[in-house]
Chain A
Amino acid sequence: MNGKRSFGGGGRGKTSAQGAQQGKDGQRRPMFRRRKVCKFCADKIDDINYKDTKLLMPFVPERAKILPRRISGTCAMHQRKLRTAIMRARQLALIPYTAE
């Protein structure tokens, strides 16, 4: 069986017979996407606090919009907590609402 690669393989995996020979010598998987993991789950951060701007800033990139889940990979529960934290921090002018 060769066509067993279901992820990451992209084009190569489907060219089966020839592709299988090339094995592990680098430059395979041209569009391998890293699986995104929730930062808060991975680092075991329970408390997403509005005072902790250092933690929140990576989730409000330059336009100062909240980074969506599909990009950051945050899980639903933590995205919810993140959202309230960011909104509170914005009220206190710790984080901008918009970029000028």
Chain B
Amino acid sequence: MKRKYELVYVVSPDATDAQVTDLHTQVEQIAQRLGGTIEKTDNWGRRRLAYEIGPHKEGTYVLETIDGGGELMKEIDRRLKVSDLVIRHLIVRIDEEQSVVERTRTKRTEGSRRRRVARGLPPDRQPGEGQRGDTEDDDRFDVTEVER
């Protein structure tokens, strides 16, 4: 069962760069061992936390997109919980949501294309088309007064 997960963890600001990369390789090893792959890694660098977590006011955020099963994520979750360096982490399953987003997006563009073709227009929006100008006063809701 292939699923896609997103893992974000916040590393304590005291950790050195080497420790952060070490953590990343640890995650990678667990993934490999349990038959998963890391698709993408993104280090957001040091950020201010929105609130203090224990003594920390800052943290290094790392985002990983992982292909793998639930067992793998369970193991990673357990490891990160135990780790002292990681102050917060979050695992979210994303494959389902992604497909829904994609579906709505294609549906919308297809629909608009079809309607445009039906109106005898080119399927894609031309530059500078359909901009009504910024008229503040929208008179659609103004009822015209009828003189008696």
Residues of A within 8 A of B (CB): 1-2, 4-5, 7-8, 20-21, 23-24, 44, 46-47, 50-51, 88, 90-98
**Chain A interface SS verdict (over half):** loop
Q: B53 to chain A: which residues have CB within 8 Å?
A: 93
Contact assessment for B141 and A8 in the assembled complex, using a CB-CB cutoff below 8 Å: yes
Q: A38: shortest Cβ distance to chain B, in Å?
A: 14
Is the pair A7, B141 in contact by a Cβ cutoff of 8 Å? yes
Q: Is the CB of B90 within 8 A of A92?
A: yes
Chain A residues near B145 (CB-CB < 8 A):
2, 20-21, 23
Q: Using an 8 Å CB-CB cutoff, how does the interface string of B132-148 with A read, 1 for contact, 0 for none?
A: 00000000011101101
Q: Which residues of B contact A88 (CB under 8 A)?
A: 90, 92
Chain B residues, CB < 8 A from A20: 145-146, 148
Most chain A beta carbons < 10 A, residue from B50, B53, B104, B146: B50
User: Chain B: residues with CB nearer than 8 A to chain A?
Assistant: 8, 10, 49-51, 53, 59, 61, 63, 88, 90, 92, 97, 101, 104-105, 108, 141-143, 145-146, 148
A14 to chain B, nearest CB (A): 14
Question: Can you list 9 A-B pairs with a CB-CB distance of less than 8 A?
Answer: A2-B146, A47-B97, A92-B8, A92-B90, A93-B59, A93-B88, A96-B50, A97-B50, A98-B51
For the complex, what is the distance from the CA of A20 to the CA of B63, rounded to whole Å? 62
With known contacts A8-B141, A20-B145, A91-B90, A51–B63 Cβ distance under 8 A: yes
| Nearest CB of A to B98, in Å | 8
Sorted nearest first, the 9 A-B pairs with minimum C-beta distance are A93-B49, A96-B50, A46-B101, A47-B101, A93-B50, A46-B104, A20-B145, A96-B51, A5-B143
Given contacts A47-B101, A93-B53, A97-B51, are A2 and B148 in contact (CB under 8 A)?
A: yes
B10 touches A93 (CB 8 A): yes
CB distance from A76 to the nearest CB of B (A): 16
Chain A residue nearest to B50 (CB atoms) is A96
16 additional A-B residue pairs with CB within 8 Å, beyond A4-B146, A20-B146, A46-B105: A1-B146, A5-B143, A7-B141, A20-B145, A20-B148, A44-B108, A47-B97, A88-B90, A90-B50, A92-B61, A92-B88, A92-B90, A93-B10, A93-B59, A94-B50, A97-B50
Q: A90 CA to B59 CA in the complex, in Å?
A: 14
Residue of B nearest to A60 (CB): B50
